[in-house]
Amino acid sequence: MDIKDLKIIVTGGASGMGRCFATELAKAGATVAIGDLDEAKMAEVVDESKDMAGDIHAFSCNVADEDSVIALINNAHETMGGLNGLINNAGIFRDGLLVKQDRETGKIKRMSLKNWNAVIAVDLTGPFLCTREFAAKMIETKTPSSCVVNISSVARHGNRGQTNYSAAKAGLVADTKLWGIELARHGIRCGAVAPGFVDTPILQGMRPEVLEGMLKAVPLRRVAAPTEIYQAVRFILECDYFTGRCIDIDGGMTV
């Protein structure tokens, strides 16, 4: 696929990696729709795109809500005059050990069902809903070629303190493989990118000594720039023979 021909949705496009993906695609000439819940940040992204080769449109969307996702797909398709790409980027963290015992009192603290459900809803159910509705729209409109990119994580291999997040990101890679198989007959490809540590507001808010300790597990001893993750996203979008696979961009990190 040629980037200039893309009419693509980026969920979680108001900040972090999603904002990078949206702006880089627009710079390259794509027409982009960002879906997010942060109206103010979405307005900033749209404003920044005014002098870019492509356009960016903004739509309020909760990816964990079925009606909201259906509206996003339909509104983006109508506004952009078509649709042929989707980046499932929206995600949240609610980290914590499965169970933890207080050393002094012996009391057991459990990961809450609320935190489990919240992460699964956004990080796994969200991509399911978005991809389902996107694929249905592609089939209904007889779009000959389209692509879905799922943003997973190095945590898909299992990362301490991330039972919910690891489960969601591992499930997303499994779904990437399945959707690549199921949707190929409709001209829809599906790939995934699994980043390691990326220079986003979440990491920027960490104490330097904590981040330094985390980077000891990364052979390259640094975090990735969002644009380095975008390079993998762009490869999947442009390579018409890529589907059903995940690209790890993690600096050689193992968890």
Give the span between the Cα atoms of 154 and 136, in whole angstroms: 30
Give the span between the Cα atoms of 87 and 147, in whole angstroms: 9
Q: Are 107 and 170 in contact (CB under 8 A)?
A: no
Please tell me what DSSP assigns to residue 107: P
Give the span between the Cα atoms of 230 and 17, in whole angstroms: 8
Give the span between the Cα atoms of 190 and 85, in whole angstroms: 10
Question: Which residues, at least 6 apart from 150, have a Cβ–Cβ distance to it below 8 Å?
Answer: 88, 127, 131, 172, 173, 175, 176, 190, 191, 192, 193
Question: Which residues, at least 6 apart from 199, have a Cβ–Cβ distance to it below 8 Å?
Answer: 223, 224, 225, 226
Is 241 catalytic? The answer is: no
Amino acid symbol at 205: G
Rounded (to 5) percent helix, strand, coil in the chain? 50, 20, 30
Task: Catalytic residue, from 59, 116, 134, 165: name it.
Answer: 165
Catalytically active residues, by annotation: 165
